[in-house]
């Protein structure tokens, strides 16, 4: 019988849990905790953000114990790389789960996201394939020439939905000048990115910004993981949804039946990142995968088990 493992991905906006004896998944949960609240401005994790994170981790600890997971891997990303008081977060995780949270490098984060995304694909993508992972604090672009090997080149950029929204998009809805400043920031990061986006034959998008935009492009009456996963969206449709989201007020976004309310205020910046990446690509469709770094973390526990 396969070993039951647990993976936790703690990002800037969300914390996610996967428990299962892979490839079977028993638990997949997400909580919106906004751990990166004001980190870009203050350099510290806010007290309220830590409270939200620890409350979610307490819930996850119960689920992990209930399902008998024998090994746990906790990966923390951008917000805890940047924060002055990261040790407070680390100590809280250690006390609640009995494991040391790993603050992975951008390169390892990218490799985990690539592995999680490509394992999930039900059709063989054209190669090379580019995986785009837009988070709250950072964005990873990862290009691979093979599906059963590490990615050829990967890069992590300090642009994300929470970080850029707090930095630029302060009006509701954002002004044209704010949007232009946000786009300029994104373009500067992409100009410095060593991954040649235009060399990818296929682009696979993962994580909440991409899946939310996909739900909008599909015109869903309510968010559906099954409908979004493996969707192939014309790039023109993606740009249309991005333009629509950026022009909306937060209250108008909150009324969208397919958008998680915890993303309503920051989806504008994340959507702009998606749009700017696609404009540098040569693909006509965006492939959407519901599997992402969380799945990669879980598989790393299985793949790295000593023989």
Q: What pLDDT, on the 0 to 100 scale, is given for residue 307?
A: 30
What CATH topology corresponds to 5-103? Nucleotidyltransferase; domain 5 (3.30.420)
Secondary-structure percent of the chain, ordered helix, strand, coil, rounded to 5: 45, 20, 35
pLDDT-derived band at 105 (thresholds 50, 70, 90) equals: confident
pLDDT-derived band at 304 (thresholds 50, 70, 90) equals: low
Torsion, Cα of 19, 28, 150, 79 (10° steps): -100
DSSP 198: G
- pLDDT(134) > 90: yes
CATH topology agreement for domains 5-103 and 107-288: yes
CA 165: distance to chain centroid? 16
Contact 204, 129 (CB under 8 A): yes
Element housing 162 (H / E):
helix 161-168
- pLDDT(253) > 80: yes
Q: Please state, in angstroms and as integers, the Cα–Cα distance from residue 129 to each residue in 87, 118, 169, 211, 281, following that order.
A: 37, 9, 31, 18, 11
Contact 266, 237 (CB under 8 A): no
Distance CA 252, CA 247 (A): 10
Q: What is the mean pLDDT of residues 151-172?
A: 92
- pLDDT(78) > 70: no
Q: What pLDDT, on the 0 to 100 scale, is given for residue 109?
A: 79
Element housing 117 (H / E):
helix 106-120
Contact 58, 96 (CB under 8 A): yes
Q: What percent of the chain has pLDDT over 90?
A: 76
Distance CA 140, CA 154 (A): 7
Q: Please state, in angstroms and as integers, the Cα–Cα distance from residue 128 to each residue in 6, 97, 274, 291, following that order.
A: 31, 39, 19, 19
| Of 82-86, 124-128, 291-295, minimum mean pLDDT range | 82-86
Decide which of 82 and 267 is more confident: 267
Distance CA 295, CA 131 (A): 14
The pLDDT mean for the chain works out to 92
pTM of the model: 0.87
SS3 64: helix
Asked if residue 147 has a cis previous peptide bond (ω within 30° of 0), the answer is no
What CATH topology corresponds to 107-288? Nucleotidyltransferase; domain 5 (3.30.420)
Structure tokens at 231: 């969707």
Contact 297, 75 (CB under 8 A): yes
Taking the domains of the chain in order of start, what are their residue ranges? 5-103, 107-288
Distance CA 285, CA 151 (A): 21
Contact 58, 87 (CB under 8 A): no
Distance CA 149, CA 134 (A): 22
End-to-end CA distance of the chain: 16
Q: Please state, in angstroms and as integers, the Cα–Cα distance from residue 250 to each residue in 192, 218, 237, following that order.
A: 31, 21, 21
Most confident of 51-55, 106-110, 113-117, 148-152: 51-55
pLDDT one-digit tens code per residue, 11-59: 888 899 999 999 999 999 999 998 988 887 898 999 999 999 999 999 9
Q: What pLDDT, on the 0 to 100 scale, is given for residue 305?
A: 38
Contact 302, 5 (CB under 8 A): yes
Q: What is the mean pLDDT of residues 171-196?
A: 97
Q: What pLDDT, on the 0 to 100 scale, is given for residue 306?
A: 37
pLDDT-derived band at 274 (thresholds 50, 70, 90) equals: very high
Asked if residue 244 has a cis previous peptide bond (ω within 30° of 0), the answer is no
């Amino acid at each position: 019988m396969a070993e039951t493992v647990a993976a936790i991905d703690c990002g800037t906006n969300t914390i996610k849990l996967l428990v299962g004896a892979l490839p079977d998944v028993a638990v997949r949960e997400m909580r919106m905790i906004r751990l990166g609240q004001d980190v870009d401005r203050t350099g510290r994790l806010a007290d309220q953000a830590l409270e939200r994170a620890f409350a979610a981790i307490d819930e996850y600890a119960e689920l992990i114990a209930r399902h008998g997971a024998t090994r746990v891997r906790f990966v923390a990303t951008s917000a805890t790389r940047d924060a002055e008081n990261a040790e407070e977060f680390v100590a809280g995780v250690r006390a609640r789960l009995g494991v040391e949270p790993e603050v992975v490098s951008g390169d390892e984060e990218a490799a985990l996201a690539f592995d999680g995304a490509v394992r999930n694909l039900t059709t063989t993508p054209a190669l090379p394939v580019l995986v785009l992972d837009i988070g709250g604090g950072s964005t990873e672009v990862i290009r691979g020439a093979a599906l059963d090997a590490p990615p050829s080149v990967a890069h992590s950029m300090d642009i994300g939905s929470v970080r850029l929204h707090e930095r630029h998009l302060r009006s509701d809805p954002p002004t044209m000048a704010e949007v232009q400043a946000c786009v300029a920031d994104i373009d500067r990061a992409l100009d410095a990115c060593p991954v040649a986006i235009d060399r990818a034959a296929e682009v696979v998008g993962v994580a909440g910004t991409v899946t939310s935009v996909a739900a909008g492009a599909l015109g869903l009456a309510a968010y559906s993981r099954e409908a979004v996963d493996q969707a192939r969206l014309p790039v023109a449709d993606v740009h249309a949804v991005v333009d629509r989201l950026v022009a909306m007020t937060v209250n108008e976004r909150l009324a969208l039946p397919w958008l998680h309310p915890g993303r309503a205020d920051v989806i504008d910046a994340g959507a702009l990142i998606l749009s700017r990446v696609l404009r540098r690509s040569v693909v006509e469709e965006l492939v959407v995968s519901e599997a992402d770094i969380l799945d990669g973390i879980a598989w790393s526990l299985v793949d790295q088990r000593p023989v």
